[in-house]
Structure 1
Amino acid sequence: MPPECRAIFEEWSPPLFLTMAVILFAVVYTHGWFAIRKTRPTLFSTWRLTAFLLGLAIIWLAIASPLDGFADASLSAHMVEHLLLMSFVPPLLLLGYPVVPLLRGLPHAVTAHILAPFIRSKFLRRLGGLLVMPIVAWLVMNLIFLGWHIPTAYDFALEHERWHDFEHICFLGSSILFWWPIIRPWPSHTHRTGWSMLLYLVTADIVNTALSAFLAFCDRPVYSYYYKLSNPFHISPMSDQMAGAVMMWVMGSLVFLVAIIFITLNLLQSQKRFTA
């Protein structure tokens, strides 16, 4: 193992707050899942529990494991970190239908006396409905995605740990908003997903492809932060940038493609039943 890689592993220690937060969410959701499953066993099958817990595990892998140390020293590792937070975690969490299990898993006093006023707030409900409107969710996710990849912003986040944490929150939160209109986790309004969702996904993939292609074919390293670091994989900044861009291009587009195929098949089956 190269000395740089060994140093990253030796310096790594699991962040206590994030690790405890992931464990707490897992315990609360699992408790609530067992409670709601008693009355809705079909809706809350085992695979939903698995999806949610896997999403939490990937959050920990992305920003609490040694991968985060590699992301500070390698652009390609950083792109993997972003891919996990934006393309894999959000759909997994939302497929777990997390809202009711999380509420049911909390102590009754917390739900009744602390959260209930927020849940009943008409303003917050309207704001939530606005944020998950397809056009709003699409704009929020893609503008945040592009904004944080501007070289000045990208380098600034890497140089300031708290801003780096905020960047991760932005990526995860905006991507949850983006995937919400596609998955519509119960008990949100279950309007049937239409053909417009294909355009929603295709245009998001175009944004991802455009940024990835720019980074892959640019004739110079875009992010100066990595100039002064010794790459743990002993590759040049240009090769590292190209590798990260290709991973973001291929894996990001693959996730969009899977969603497009799934929605198309569902729409065709619904259309077939309607005309039968």
Structure 2
Amino acid sequence: MRARHVALVRTHLLAWLLFAASSPAWAHGNGHEHPSASAGDVLLAGLLALALSAFAAGWRRLPRRRGGGKAVPTWRAVLFVAGIASLAFVLLPPFDHLADARFSAHMAQHLVLLVAAPPMLAASQGYVVMLHALPLRARRRAGRFIAALPGVKALARHGSEVWFVCLSSIAVLWFWHLPSSYEWARRDPLVHDAEHLLFLLAELSFWRVILTSGGRRLSRAGAAVILALMGFQGGLLAALITLASTPLYRSYGTDAVSISDQSLGGVMMWVVAGTVYLGAFALMLGLALARERRRGREALLMPEAG
């Protein structure tokens, strides 16, 4: 029992060290070139590290398959760690301070929240692993408590509906990139945090439905069509930002340099988000075609009736 406890503590410590190594917030001192982390940065770092610790603890408790491997494949664990590390990189100093000063850096931050971390975290199914960090009785109690909270059941029901996650994703993307909403978030740190949280929650819901529905609520072909349409509307927003001849977000400045940086941010959104959607589209289309080929072979092998 003692050996198991020591191993669990060692696993938690390794998760925290891995997080610290991936986060630039702790890579520098308090010199002038790298501003010190705020209380909010420390809180965020703690939450991300807690997620890694919970994942590490849950991973150790996961049941094993008959072949000896974990019930959740190792590649899913890699995706979870990569998703958390990407969030740490863009949301903590010094990159977060750069995002305050440069529109293009801010767009890089948004891209991680929209199309980098969410698909990795959704595909990792990290919530399944983290639940195993708690004993079975504690998991059941926590589940009953959360289910009893007002609005949770309705949110869980709608959060698995294709129309809801698509509309939510579109709404948060366009609303928070309207100049008035964008500047509001820049003026108020709490609103800015809420913006980032909404980005992450909306996209986690979207990518969970797209990547893990397994054909229950959405076929692979249907997912491919949705990804193409979502990529198109995101590309339209990126094009509007890229091709704007006047500054849309004036808090960054109104000179030629600011307009060029604004265009750079739009190009980044256009190329990076477009590449992610195109890659996911190709994956889903390939899976759909492979499934149809399997069905065709099975139909040929079936004996004729009668």
TM superposition score category, shorter chain reference? 0.7 to 0.9
Local SS of the residue matching 1:105: coil
TM-score, L = length of structure 1? 0.87
Give the distance between the partners of 1:241 and 1:251, measured in 2 at CA.
Answer: 15
1:194 to 194, 200, 220: 220
CA contact (8 A) 1:37 1:45 kept: no
Answer yes or no: is 1:77 the counterpart of 2:101: no
Structure 2 counterpart of 1:76, one-letter code:
S
Give the distance between the partners of 2:84 and 2:239, measured in 1 at CA.
Answer: 30
Structure 2 counterpart of 1:152, one-letter code:
S
Alignment of 1:209-228 (within 5 A): 209-227=235-253
Q: Deviations over 1:18-49 (max 9, x none)?
A: 11111111011121123224248364111111
Local SS of the residue matching 1:221: coil
Answer yes or no: is 1:258 the counterpart of 2:282: no
Give the distance between the partners of 2:103 and 2:36, measured in 1 at CA.
Answer: 18
Fraction of identical pairs, as percent: 25
Change over 3 Å in CA distance of 1:179–1:243 after alignment to 2: same
Give the distance between the partners of 1:66 and 1:123, measured in 2 at CA.
Answer: 37
Partner of 2:131: 103
1:249 to 270, 275, 279: 270
- Count residues in correspondence: 264
User: After the TM superposition, which of the residue ranges 109-118 and 238-247 deviates more from structure 2?
Assistant: 109-118
Alignment of 1:109-258 (within 5 A): 110-119=138-147, 124-184=152-212, 190-191=216-217, 193-227=219-253, 236-258=257-279
Between Structure 1 and Structure 2, whose CA radius of gyration is higher? Answer: 2
Q: Which runs of 5+ in 2 are unaligned?
A: 1-29, 298-306
Alignment of 1:22-61 (within 5 A): 22-39=48-65, 41=69, 43-61=71-89
Give the distance between the partners of 1:17 and 1:227, measured in 2 at CA.
Answer: 31
Local SS of the residue matching 1:200: helix
Change over 3 Å in CA distance of 1:249–1:164 after alignment to 2: same
Q: Which runs of 5+ in 1 are unaligned?
A: 1-5
Change over 3 Å in CA distance of 1:68–1:107 after alignment to 2: farther
CA contact (8 A) 2:224 2:282 kept: no
Answer yes or no: is 1:13 the counterpart of 2:41: no
Per-residue deviation, 1:254: 0.2
Per-residue deviation, 1:65: 3.1
Structure 2 counterpart of 1:214, one-letter code:
L
CA contact (8 A) 1:182 1:193 kept: no
